[in-house]
């Protein structure tokens, strides 16, 4: 807890039944989605549900730390544990029969030193890009907060129509009900980004529901509850054939620019105002009623459009830079993965 600054579960009863873990040991997690196999850098204990593997005298643990993150190892593990990414239990008896390369100890040390150096440089570049991302994110938030600030405020419901989505319906209630995709909280990402590449799901809508819960260019959508409550995004294009779930609230209005409302909500989310309005200790809900009554800075309809136009330009440039950084990070992560696999499998020779 001192190291991480966060709280952990303390097992104060039955500690004798737990397994000791020492620095350099490997732990096979109970479920593969929890991380698969990891090397511990700390001394501690784990429950009997985990398998602890201690390197023998023939093993240099640093080499196997890289080997177990290589693509060839993960592919082999995937063959032994069906549906690896869906949480299949890692069966140690089956895992123990997996053949692993065991080069001479000097070679293991040489590979580890080389990869420590090479991946260290990549990790340093990734850390620099993370810092730049955070700087740009903060700059974006400051620009928005400065632009929308006003001494006057108005309730959202007085400017825009507020509509809550439909509860999940997996079966038709009438012959005319039809399956169609629906927008849900996962699609609305931080910074007002709408990500429709996330797994699309469908549910049944009646004809009247499909019409009432349509999504059109100019609408704004807000996450109602959960970890992303209060996130808002603006729709730049029509989404024909889509509806939205009750985890989403839609804003629509002909006389007021919803872009401004999205920017004002992003500023309120960043400042903590939305969290205060939700006033929830566990599972926060930014309900349709709360959204209707939530007050945002008011400048006048014409001024709202000017502010939105200005923020579109400024945040657009910042978003473009953030997208470029994401591309660079993806290339570095790919480079790191390929390098590790090539070296531990001997496809790439390293200097002695």
pLDDT tens for 249-284 read: 999 987 668 999 999 999 999 999 999 988 755 578
133 has a pLDDT exceeding 80? yes
Percentage with pLDDT > 70 across the chain: 90
197 has a pLDDT exceeding 90? no
Kindly write down the DSSP assignment for every residue of 61-91, as one continuous string.
HHHHHHHTTSHHHHHHHHHHSSSGGGT-B--
Dist. CA 66–CA 110, nearest whole Å: 12
DSSP letter, residue 101: -
14 has a pLDDT exceeding 90? no
Dist. CA 319–CA 136, nearest whole Å: 9
Give the model's pLDDT for residue 226.
79
pLDDT tens for 207-240 read: 999 999 999 999 999 999 877 899 999 999 999 9
Q: How many CB atoms within 10 Å of residue 62?
A: 18
pLDDT tens for 29-86 read: 755 544 578 889 889 888 887 889 998 989 898 999 999 888 888 877 776 655 544 4
DSSP letter, residue 328: H
CA-wise closest residue to 47 among 13, 87, 15, 71: 15
Average pLDDT over residues 94-110: 87
CATH number for 151-298 (one of 3.90.25.10, 3.40.50.620, 3.30.60.50, 3.90.220.20): it is 3.90.220.20
337 has a pLDDT exceeding 70? yes
How do the domains of the chain map onto residue ranges? 1-102, 151-298
pTM: 0.78
Give the model's pLDDT for residue 12.
66
Dist. CA 238–CA 64, nearest whole Å: 51
Domains 1-102 and 151-298 share a fold: yes
User: What's the chain's average pLDDT?
Assistant: 88
Give the model's pLDDT for residue 282.
58
Average pLDDT over residues 152-175: 94
Average pLDDT over residues 300-314: 94
Q: Alpha helices, DSSP H only, in the chain?
A: 61-67, 71-80, 92-95, 105-148, 207-212, 258-271, 273-278, 288-293, 301-344
Give the model's pLDDT for residue 35.
54
CATH class of 1-102: alpha beta
Kindly write down the DSSP assignment for every residue of 177-228, as one continuous string.
-EEEEEE-GGGEEGGGEE-TTS---EEEE-HHHHHHT---TT-EEEE-BSTT
pLDDT class for 5, splitting at 50, 70, 90? confident
């Amino acid at each position: 807890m001192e190291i991480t600054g966060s709280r952990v579960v303390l097992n104060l009863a039955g500690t004798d039944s737990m397994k000791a873990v020492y620095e350099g040991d490997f732990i096979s997690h109970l479920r593969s989605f929890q991380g698969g196999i990891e090397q511990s850098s700390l001394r501690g204990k784990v429950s009997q549900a985990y398998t602890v593997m201690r390197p023998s005298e023939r093993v240099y643990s640093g080499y196997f730390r890289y080997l177990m993150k290589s693509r060839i190892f993960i592919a082999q593990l995937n063959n032994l544990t069906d549906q690896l990414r869906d949480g299949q239990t890692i069966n140690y008896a089956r895992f123990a029969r997996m053949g692993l390369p065991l080069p001479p100890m000097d070679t293991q040390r040489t590979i580890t030193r080389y990869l420590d150096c090479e991946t260290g440089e990549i990790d340093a570049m990734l850390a620099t890009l993370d810092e730049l991302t955070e700087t740009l994110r903060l700059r974006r938030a400051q620009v928005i907060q400065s632009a929308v600030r006003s001494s006057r405020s108005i309730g959202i419901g007085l400017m825009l129509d507020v509509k809550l989505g439909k509860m999940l319906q997996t079966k038709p209630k009438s012959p005319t009900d039809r399956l169609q995709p629906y927008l849900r909280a996962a699609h609305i990402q931080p910074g007002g980004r709408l990500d429709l590449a996330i797994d699309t799901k469908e549910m049944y809508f009646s004809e009247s529901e499909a019409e009432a819960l349509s999504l059109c260019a100019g609408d704004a959508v807000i996450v109602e509850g959960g970890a992303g409550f209060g996130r808002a995004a603006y729709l730049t294009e029509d989404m024909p054939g889509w509806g939205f779930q009750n985890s989403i609230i839609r804003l629509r209005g002909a006389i007021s620019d919803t872009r401004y409302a999205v920017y004002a909500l992003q500023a309120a989310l960043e400042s903590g105002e939305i969290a205060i309005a939700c006033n929830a200790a566990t599972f926060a809900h930014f309900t349709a009623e709360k959204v209707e009554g939530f007050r945002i800075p008011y400048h006048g309809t014409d001024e709202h459009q000017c502010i939105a136009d200005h923020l579109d330009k400024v945040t657009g440039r910042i978003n473009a830079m953030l997208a470029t950084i994401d591309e660079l990070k993806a290339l570095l992560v790919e480079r790191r993965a390929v390098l590790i696999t090539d070296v531990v499998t001997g496809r790439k020779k390293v200097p002695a």
